[in-house]
Structure 1
Amino acid sequence: MSARARRVLAAAASVVVAGTTLTGCFEEPSAHEAVRDFLVGWQSGDYELAAGRTDGDPAVVRKALEDTRVHLDAASFRFRITSLTQSGEESTADFAAEVDLGENNSLWEYTSKLPLHLVNGVWKVRWSPSVIHPQLKEGQRFAVDPKPELRKQVLDRTGEPLQADTTLYVAGVTPATLGDNAQKAGEQLAALTGFAQDRLLSRIKSAPPSTFVPLVTFGWRKYASIQSKLDDIPGVTVQKQEQPVAPAPPEQIVGRVSALTAEHEQKLGGPQRAGDSVGLSGLQKAYQDYLTGSTQTSVITLDLKTGEQVAELKKWPGRPNAPVETTIDSSIQAAAESALAGTRSATLVAVKARTGEVLAVSASDDLNEEKNALAGKYPAGNAFSIIAAEALLKKGVKPSQPLACPPERSVGGARFEQAGLTASVSQSFQSSFARSCVTALASLARRVSGDDLAKSAADFGIGKPWKLPLKSFSGKVGDLDSDADKAKAIAGQNVEVSPLSMALVAGAVASGTWHPPLLVTKPTTPDPAAEVLPATPPAPVAIDAKVLPALQSMMRSGVRSGSARAAAAAGEPVSGIVAPVTGKSKNQAWFVGWQGDVAVAVLAENADPAAYAGRFFAAIRDPA
């Protein structure tokens, strides 16, 4: 059941209460019965009852009250008597009216008077249009004049739109030109689009007659498929309208927009009207109400002969809409798109190291920027060794600490294998880190406690309660109760992370401070209709200054002499490591690193993520 239908039923149910209140207000003899019957009949739609309590032509009164509901497109009326005075054969009732205009507008509240007099010993309401509203005169009617705002845009960090213009086709009518075809036009348009016929007709009948009333909006494919049928509907015309709704990269973060369909209207309720746009995904969906606002609406009176406005009785300015301002850097986003062009099963997230601002999000065609890059839950693999290294350095393990890197090793009953190695290799902690030797790094599990690893993970934001306005995942660390658990964590086998959370880890090492992610700078408050509400961001966390230089040096060694050499780019040096995911069937690997103030995480399957990172940094240096 629609929200409008529920409001109508609620109004009907309240008639009994209203009638009881009116009946009990005054003792006989008085005009209270006439007042009660008139207002209850008007409120409940029993216009025969209401007309019988007036001295006017019953047919004229019935039509006037019915037209009032139609011309206001009213969901309900409610009335309350405030006073009743009587002087001989004359009486006056003061009453307060509440009219629900629907469309998520406020109630229209006004006060008026019912003049009464005795006719053959029976109290009658002295009929004139001013009974309905004190400013309504003979030869006039009500109308509702909405002035919708076009949808605002999603912007990048420089204020440039992240959408391109698209031609939409708006079908509507000018009521004055319809003549007797309003009913037929409403029926045919409802049958063609699925919108409720009564809603389309009420939009037509409540509008100023000389105003074009938009009823349904189509994209070009839908319009092309039904154009001939639209042309056959009497009085319906189509206007082209350019709207910035085609998303630019990152398309899935920006989100898609659709013309409002009958199905959307039923699901959304609220302020949307047939013909409006609705965000289907991404930020367009998360900030639907903010981008669209609510329609400015006026209740006016019109001259029936000329159709011209006579007076404005009430105006609601509506909730203003505004663009959504993001942290996306379009030039860096272009570099991310270029880096992953033609790839499969790869994602890339870039953040500003000093602030945590999301600069770019990209994913290959078989993956999704939101579901995979921001909210994907992936094994951390040896990428967690960055966090483990910070904990180990704080416990006194030196980068020069000699370690054996054997093909296989068991720690606390957990077995680890180093792929591609047939004999044990002796190297330092730093070299093992740079080359992602899982058997060497796992052997250090006894040098740290579970609490040490858990604290370092929290300091790097893993599992922190941050949320973006879109779905995102901060990470999760498994049990750390035994040496086997700790060794698995160092190898990232019982740790889940997202590409976004690992980009923030890289940013923390690069800048010396972990920052929560930031994607939207305005609005600063969430859209009340959003499915995902951003949490209050946790405070930044400074990395221990005593170990930070050593950790940064270890990260640099990954590109200079480790397995991440493919990420090297000319210009400012690149720091980072390649971290395979071990113990899983999928051949996945991470690159986690930075160049300058741009920190990045790349996750790729059956490919070298460092090569993608190298393309990315090269594209930033030499944009097309």
Structure 2
Amino acid sequence: MTGRARRAAAAALTLVATAPMLSACFEEPSAHEAVRDFLVGWQTGDYTMAARRTDGDAQKVRQSLEDAKVHLDAASFRFALKGIRRTGEQAQADFAAEVDLGENNPLWEYDGRLPLHLVDGEWKVRWSPGVLHPELREGQRFAVKVEPEDRYPIEAQDRDPLQELANLHVASVIPARLNDPEKVCEQLSKVTGFPKDRLLSRIMSAVPNMQVPLITFGRTRFAQLRPELEAIEGIQFSIREQPVAPASPKQIVGTVTAVTPEIELLLGGPQRAGDTFGRDGLQKAYQEYLTGSTETSVVTVDLKTLETAAELAKWRPGRTAAPVRTTLDRRVQQAADSALATGARGMLVAVQGSTGEVRAVSSTREYHQETDVLAGKFPAGTTFSIMAVEGLLKAQVDLKQKIACPADRTVGGSRFRQVGPPAGSEPTLRGNFASACVTALASLARLVGPAELSAGAEKFGIGAPWTLPLKSFSGSMQPLNNDAATARAIAGQNVSVSPLSMALVAGAVSSGTWRPPVLVIDPKTPDLSAEAEQPSKPVPPVTLDEKTVTTLRSLMRTGVTSGSARAAAAPGDPVHGITAAVSREGKQLSWFVGWQGDVAVAVLVEGSDPGAGAAVAGRFFQNLRAGV
């Protein structure tokens, strides 16, 4: 049921209570009976009953009441009697009117009055246009003027728009120039699929000599329908620029389309021509914020000049539209896109380590920036060893301790295999960490208990209830109820993470504090789509143990200087990071998790080379330094 239908139904239900209440006040024949019948007849659409209680021509009164509803495009009228004053054979009833103009507008409320006099011993409403509204005069009619706001853009953190202006095509009419409005709407409905009655109501309620936008088309659809549209007499076309063509990251920014009949049905209410709809991404999540509201005026129109005679009411319901400012950085985004443009298939997300603000989200066409980069569920692999270090330190494990890195190892009945050449027969724990040796790291399950691993994951935000205005995933860990499960956790085989959650892990090590992600700076309070969930309370940052952070920074630097992440090395500040090789749905994937300066990244790309992710990260850091 649309918003208009719901409000009309509510008015009808209210009438059930209103009419008896009006009747209860009138226990004897008097002016009250005439007032009651007139207002109840007007409210319910029984214009014949209302007309009988006036001294005017019955047909003219009925037509005037019907025209008032049409010219206001009103969903309903409701009235409340405020009082009646009688002086001899004259009387006046004062009433409060509420008119539901639909289109998501608030109620138009005004005070009216009904002059009455005795005609052959019967009270009659003295008919004139002023009965409908005190300021309506003979030779005038109601009309509704609407001024929709343009759509505002999604912005980067420096307020640079993240979309380009694109042309939308608007089909309009000037009502006074139409010989047969109903025929025009019938033809337009047949071509476009928009309901004929909605198109006609917009024309009939408009100021006759003003241009009335009816339907907006995107470039492709307009080109398809143009010959049929141009064949409809009285239709005019204009171009309206709107910020609808998304820049990178396109799937995060989201696409925008002109409202179609299907979208109008989806939105549950009539939309005005010129309205645009965010199909996905932030454009969808912040649809109401970006489009704001339509300024609406109720006016009277002179039927001779067709000009506005007076303004009776004016309002802009809701909130003024405004841009949505994100944390995205065009320079960082370009560096990420360029890093993935060299043939790698995968994704990269960059955050500012000291704030958790998302700076770039990039992916090749095989992956989706929202559902994979922000919300994907991938095995953590040996990148989870970052979160196990604190437990190892508490167990007083010496990083110089020698632990073999065989090609195969069984722990607690679970078999682990090292992808790529072993790091050596007797490498140190530091070397195994830097080389992402699965078999060596899995063997640490006997030294680190499930409670320590779970606590470490929690400190790094795995499973934290943070939310973004888009779908996202903070990670999850399966229950650790035996040595095999604990070993699989250290090896990251029963821990699921998103690239975003791992970029935040890298940012936590670089800054010393884990922080939840931030994607939108303004508005502070999201205007979320129905699919998203509001957090019950903000997720606080977590300050990490100083010894743990110092150790991790050293280990992750070794990963780049002499470990499997050597390909990530780049000029400028030292690069820190580690790699991991994982498999999902039959695809071999390579992780890199690390940072340079205050930019923390997670890269996940396809390929059997464990260092493939590090190579993409290296190109990213080089691009960022070069300003690519």
Identify the TM-score tier after normalising by the shorter chain: over 0.9
Q: Distance in 1 between matches of 2:554 and 2:72?
A: 72
| Mapped partners of 1:423, 1:21: distance in 2 | 89
SS at match of 1:426: coil
Q: Note if contact 2:510-2:553 (Cα within 8 Å) is conserved in structure 1.
A: yes
Residue identity matched to 2:624: I
Amino acid at match of 1:412: G
1:101 and 1:183 map into 2 onto residues whose CA distance is 21
1:99-149 alpha-carbon deviations (Å, 9 max, x no partner):
001111111111111111121122211000110111111111111111111
- Give me the whole-angstrom Cα distance separating, in 1, the residues matched to 2:420 and 2:61: 93
Deviation at 1:15, TM superposition (A): 3.4
Residue deviations 1:547-587 (CA, integer Å, cap 9, x gap): 22111010011111011111111222211111111697421
Alignment match, 2:49: 49
When residues 422 and 4 of structure 1 are mapped into structure 2, their CA distance, relative to the original with a 3 A threshold, is closer
With normalisation by structure 2, the TM-score equals: 0.96
After superposition, the Cα gap between the structure-2 partners of 1:175 and 1:344, relative to the gap in structure 1 and judged at 3 Å, is: farther
Structure 2 spans left out of the alignment, 5+ residues: none
- Return the alpha-carbon distance in structure 1 between the equivalents of residues 110 and 606 of structure 2: 67
Q: Note if 1:618 corresponds to 2:619.
A: no
1:48 Cα deviation after fit: 1.5
Q: CA deviation at 1:345?
A: 4.0
Q: Alpha-carbon deviation of 1:271?
A: 7.3
Q: Which residue of 1 aligns with 2:359?
A: 359
Structure-to-structure mapping, 1:17-416, within 5 angstroms: 17-178=17-178, 180-269=179-268, 272-318=271-317, 319-341=319-341, 343=343, 345-416=345-416
Distance 1:392 1:244, change over 3 A: same
Distance (whole Å) between structure 2 residues aligned to residue 39 and residue 164 of structure 1: 53
Q: Do the aligned residues in 2 keep the contact of 1:394 with 1:547 (CA within 8 Å)? A: no
The answer on whether the counterparts of 2:247 and 2:253 sit within 8 Å (CA) in structure 1 is yes
Structure 1 residue 344: Cα displacement: 5.6
Relative to structure 1, the CA distance from residue 391 to residue 90 in structure 2 (aligned partners, 3 Å threshold; closer, same or farther) is same
Distance in 2, Cα, partners of 1:529 & 1:53: 50
Asked if 1 retains the 8 angstrom alpha-carbon contact of 2:285 and 2:528, the reply is no
Question: What amino acid is the match of 1:532?
Answer: A
Give the structure 2 partner of residue 4 of structure 1.
Answer: 4
What is the letter of the counterpart of residue 211 of structure 1?
M
Does the aligned pair in 2 maintain the 1:22–1:36 contact within 8 Å? Answer: yes
CA distance in 1 between counterparts of 2:534 and 2:353 reads 21
Cα distance in 1 for partners of 2:327, 2:269 equals 30
> What is the identity, as a one-letter code, of the residue corresponding to 2:33?
E
Q: What TM-score, normalized to structure 1?
A: 0.97
Change (3 A) 1:423 1:289: closer
Q: Does structure 1 residue 539 correspond to structure 2 residue 527?
A: no
Counterpart in 1 of 2:599? 598
Structure 1 CA distance, aligned partners of 2:458 and 2:399? 23
Q: Is 1:171–1:237's contact at 8 Å kept on the other side of the alignment? A: yes
- Match for 2:627: what amino acid? P
Cα-to-partner distance string for 1:442-464 (whole Å, 9 max, x where unaligned): 11112111111111101100000
Q: 1:271 to 1:615 in 2, by over 3 A?
A: farther
Distance 2:532 2:490 in 1: 32
For structure 1, list consecutive stretches of 5 or more residues without a partner in the other structure. Answer: none
For 1:589, the equivalent position in structure 2 comes to 590
Secondary structure in structure 1 of the residue aligned to 2:472? coil
Change in CA separation of 1:281 and 1:584 when aligned onto 2, cut-off 3 Å: closer
**Percent of pairs identical after alignment?**
59
Whether the 8 Å contact between 1:30 and 1:86 is mirrored in structure 2 is no
The amino acid across from 1:20 in the alignment is: P
d(CA) in 1 for partners of 2:423 and 2:508? 35
420-429 vs 196-205, greater mean Cα deviation? 420-429
Root-mean-square deviation (CA), in Å?
1.6
User: CA–CA distance in 1 between the matches of 2:395 and 2:141?
Assistant: 83
Shift of 1:52: 1.4
- Measure the CA separation in 2 of the matches of 1:540 and 1:11: 50
CA–CA distance in structure 2, aligned partners of residues 350 and 271 of structure 1: 41
Q: Distance in 2 between matches of 1:20 and 1:557?
A: 85
Measured after TM superposition, the shift of residue 334 of structure 1 is 0.5
- Residues 484 and 14 from structure 1, CA distance in 2 versus in 1: closer, same or farther, beyond 3 angstroms? same
Give me the whole-angstrom Cα distance separating, in 2, the residues matched to 1:424 and 1:159. 52
Q: Pick closer, same or farther for the CA change 1:452–1:573 going to 2, 3 Å.
A: same
1:193-220 Cα offsets, whole Å, 9 max, x none, are 1111111111111111222111111111
Query: How far does residue 591 in structure 1 lie from its aligned partner after superposition?
Result: 0.4
Question: Partners of 1:394 and 1:70 in 2: how far apart?
Answer: 77
Q: CA deviation at 1:87?
A: 3.0
Q: Does the Cα contact within 8 Å between 1:247 and 1:256 map onto a contact in 2?
A: yes
Is the CA contact (8 Å cut-off) linking 1:577 and 1:591 kept in structure 2? yes
**Are 2:573 and 1:567 aligned?**
no
Contact 1:262 1:274 in 2 (8 A): no
Q: Partner amino acid for 1:138? A: E
Mapped to 2, the partners of 1:348 and 1:423 lie a distance apart of: 27
Q: Aligned-pair distance for 1:590?
A: 0.5
Letter in 1 for 2:596: Q
